Amino acid sequence: MLVVGAGASGLIIAQRFVDAGLTVTIVERGSVGGEQSNHSHGYMHRGHIYLTPSLELVRNLSNGADRWRAEMDALGIEPINDNSSLLFTNAYEADVAAAAWSRAGLTFHEQVGAPPGVEQEGLARSFITQEATFDFTQWLRARYERLAADPAVKVVQANVLRLERESTAIVGAVVASGGEEVVLASSFVVLCGGIGNLELAATVTQFRGNALNRSSPMLVLRGPELPSLSAVFHGHETHGMFIASRHTDEGTVWLVSNYVSYAGEAITATGVRLWLRDIRSTLRDRTSGLDDPRNVWGYYSAPKGELRNIRTSINSHNVQSYGFDNLLVAAPTKLTLTPLLGDVVMDEVAQRLRRHKRPAGSRDIETGSPVSVSPERWTEATLHPLSSLVDV
Ligand X SMILES: Cc1cc2nc3c(=O)[nH]c(=O)nc-3n(C[C@H](O)[C@H](O)[C@H](O)COP(=O)(O)OP(=O)(O)OC[C@H]3O[C@@H](n4cnc5c(N)ncnc54)[C@H](O)[C@@H]3O)c2cc1C
Interface residues with ligand X (CB under 6 A)?
4-10, 27-30, 33-37, 39-43, 45, 159-160, 192-194, 196, 200, 216, 218, 257, 302, 304, 331-332, 334-336
Q: Strands 230-233, 84-88: parallel, antiparallel or unpaired by DSSP?
A: parallel
- Residue 117 sits at φ, ψ, to 5 deg, of 95, -10
Distance of closest approach, residue 113 Cβ to ligand X, in angstroms: 25
Nearer Cβ to ligand X (119/278): 278
CA distances from 177 to 32, 60, 285, 331 (A): 19, 40, 53, 27
Distance of closest approach, residue 366 Cβ to ligand X, in angstroms: 16
Residue 218 pairs with which residues in a beta bridge? 300
Nearer Cβ to ligand X (6/104): 6
Nearer Cβ to ligand X (309/385): 309
Distance of closest approach, residue 121 Cβ to ligand X, in angstroms: 27
- What kind and span of H or E run contains 106? none
Nearer Cβ to ligand X (287/336): 336
Nearer Cβ to ligand X (89/336): 336
Q: Strands 169-177, 160-166: parallel, antiparallel or unpaired by DSSP?
A: antiparallel
Nearer Cβ to ligand X (171/173): 173
Residue 163 pairs with which residues in a beta bridge? 173
Distance of closest approach, residue 293 Cβ to ligand X, in angstroms: 27
Q: How many CB atoms lie within 10 A of CB 42?
A: 25
- What kind and span of H or E run contains 225? none
User: With b meaning 16 or more CB within 10 Å and e meaning fewer, what string describes 161-191?
Assistant: ebbbbeeebbbbbbbebeeeebbbbbbbbbb
Nearer Cβ to ligand X (225/347): 347
Exposed/middle/buried for residue 133 (C-beta within 10 Å: 0-12, 13-18, 19+): buried
Nearer Cβ to ligand X (94/135): 135
Residue 257 pairs with which residues in a beta bridge? 242
Give me Rg for the CA atoms of the chain: 22
Distance of closest approach, residue 358 Cβ to ligand X, in angstroms: 20
Distance of closest approach, residue 361 Cβ to ligand X, in angstroms: 22
Nearer Cβ to ligand X (302/327): 302
Nearer Cβ to ligand X (96/272): 272
DSSP letters along 282-299, please?
HHHHHBSTTS-TT-EEEE
DSSP-derived secondary structure letter, 355? G
Quote the CA–CA distance of 125 and 6 in Å, as a whole number. 41
Distance of closest approach, residue 65 Cβ to ligand X, in angstroms: 9
Distance of closest approach, residue 360 Cβ to ligand X, in angstroms: 24
Is the CB of residue 80 less than 8 Å from the CB of residue 247?
A: yes
Distance of closest approach, residue 196 Cβ to ligand X, in angstroms: 2
Is the CB of residue 200 less than 8 Å from the CB of residue 193?
A: yes
Distance of closest approach, residue 91 Cβ to ligand X, in angstroms: 27
Is the CB of residue 134 less than 8 Å from the CB of residue 75?
A: no
Task: Please list the helix, strand and coil fractions of the chain in percent, rounded to the nearest 5, in that order.
Answer: 30, 30, 40
